[in-house]
Structure 1
Amino acid sequence: MTITTEPQQLLSNNQNNLPPTESLQYRAIGRMWGRYVPNAEQIRQGQLITTDGVIINVNLMSKVAKIVENKLDLSQEYLWTVYPKTPPKDLVIGLYLSLIGVKAPSEYTELIKTELQSQADNFSIQGEVIYQNFESGIVTVKIQQTPRNKNGTPKEFRLRLLGFLPPKSARHFWNLHVRRIGTDLVIQSGQCIKFLRPKKSKTKKLLTIPSENPHELAEVNARTQSTEQP
């Protein structure tokens, strides 16, 4: 199943900038154009000011922090590779970014600048859709992070996006192309990759009620299962 909200030819160039390496790879990554302004006390914490005047709170990951500290002219705008995060409960989506990379070519011609700017504000999101609200147009996607070592426990977080997917998209793994509009992440197109079956609970038991009629007991258990929330 594939959806799109704008002409496919307008998306093709930007979608291919951040292709996933696997069809079921959890990922949330994007590119942003803007000027980084560090906090007075801590250079690794600050704000990204975009060309359209939006101010987004950000932090620098270790590798890009070294580049910023040693080589970057912070009066200039750059193309940043970022990890997005969104508040879990606010009605307004909002956005927070971790800056993980930066493109700072030695020659900054207008042609190069225009090309880099064309890649900005695009995000590749892949994960399990766990919630959708057709009244507010909010879709929540679960992203599972890969552990840093083999024995580590996978961590997960949730991204709240604006947009609409087909009914009953929950429990399906989706590949989504998303654009930043203001401080919102808005779904532009997507492809349903796979249905994810719910995990069976080890402690879940059927309701048992003493009855002389086995058909009556089966009917009670069936009703109980159908009313349980996933």
Structure 2
Amino acid sequence: MRAHPIPPVTEPLQFRAIGLVRGTYTPTDPDQVTRGVLTDSNGLELETVVLGRVLTLMRRHLAMDHPHLWVVYPRCRDSEHLHLQIAGVWEPSTLSPDQNDLDDTLPQGDDYFSIRGELIYTKPETGEMVVKVRQLPRPDGKRPLPFKVSIKGELPLEHLRHFVSFDLRRQGQELHLENHEVIAPMPTRGGKSKGGRGAATTRSSR
């Protein structure tokens, strides 16, 4: 079993949007288990869908009336509501062949999210940002459309059109900035960077 549910980055400009949410998943319709809500420890319900590859795992190995630490892909259909796609579960004590003395906790804790993408909107005076994330082509060669993720936090305007790595923490329906690293200006189609020649690297904590 992999030592961490969020794999390490293999390329400097690797896009991704992934996180960890602990909660109890309940289907909206018992006959359609892929759509439902994830209820966290505070009783907040998050609109959720289950990706097909997780269904067999859920049915065979998990007590669905108990909370689990789910590996999720975040989507923001609007700035006020978070939508989740369940892509896996982190529970070595249940799922590992060797279940002795295995710890289900992680250094980042619950509700940690890693978002890597292009900063396309930032309004420091209101603490609002939007990141565009590109997806890998599908096996049939079709390239999915990029999607946008809303973030609560402050970054200066000079980081627009840069590739940024964000460490975030979910608070209710929102993702709040904890740390960030500005990797580089986004390349244009001609191969040049939008924001200049050099890469900028910073770190912040809130």
TM-score scaled by length of structure 2: 0.78
Residue 99 to residue 17, structure 1, CA distance change in 2 (3 Å): closer
1:111 Cα deviation from its structure 2 partner: 8.2
Identity across the alignment (%):
31
Deviation at 1:165, TM superposition (A): 0.9
Structure 2 residue aligned with 1:20, among 9, 13, 23?
Answer: 9
Which residue number in structure 2 is paired with residue 112 of structure 1? 103
The structure having more radius of gyration, on CA atoms, is 1
Q: What are the equivalent positions in structure 2 for 1:190-209 lying under 5 Å apart?
A: 190-199=180-189
1:161 aligns with 2:131: no
How many Å separate the matches in 2 of 1:52 and 1:64?
Answer: 25
Aligned-pair distance for 1:181? 0.6
1:70 Cα deviation after fit: 2.7
How big is the shift at 1:67?
A: 1.3
Q: Secondary structure at the match of 2:146?
A: strand
TM-score by length of 1: 0.71
CA, structure 1 residues 58+16, in 2 after alignment: closer, same or farther (shift >3 Å)?
closer
Q: Deviations over 1:169-190 (max 9, x none)?
A: 1100001101101110011110
| CA 1:66–1:154: 2 relative to 1, 3 Å | same
In the aligned structure 1, how far is the partner of 2:123 from the partner of 2:57? 41
Secondary structure of 1:87's aligned partner:
strand
Task: Give the conservation status (yes or no) of the 8 Å contact 1:19–1:124.
Answer: no
> Aligned partners of 2:65, 2:101: CA distance in 1, in Å?
17
**SS of 2:180's equivalent?**
strand
Q: 1:122 and 2:122 equivalent?
A: no
Which has the larger helix fraction?
A: 1
In structure 1, what is the Cα distance between the partners aligned to 2:48 and 2:107? 19
Check conservation: 1:174, 1:193, Cα contact below 8 A.
Answer: yes
| Distance of 1:117 and 1:97 partners within structure 2 | 22
Higher normalized strand content (fraction of residues) = 2
Report if the CA contact (8 A) 1:79-1:117 is conserved.
Answer: no
Partner in structure 2 of residue 46 of structure 1: 36
TM-superposed CA distance for 1:21, in Å, is: 2.2
> Does 2:74 correspond to 1:84?
yes
Quick one: which amino acid aligns to residue 168 of structure 1?
E
- For structure 1, the residue ranges without an aligned partner over 5 or more in a row are 1-14, 201-230
Given the superposition, is the C-alpha separation of residues 130 and 102 from structure 1 closer, same or farther in structure 2, using an over 3 Å criterion?
same
Q: 1:168 to 1:106 in 2, by over 3 A?
A: same
Inter-partner Cα distance in structure 1 for 2:122 and 2:131: 9
CA contact (8 A) 1:17 1:119 kept: no
How many residue pairs match? The answer is: 182
Which structure 2 segments of 5+ residues have no match?
Answer: 191-206
| Matched residue type, 1:181 | Q
Cα distance, 1:54 vs. partner?
A: 1.5
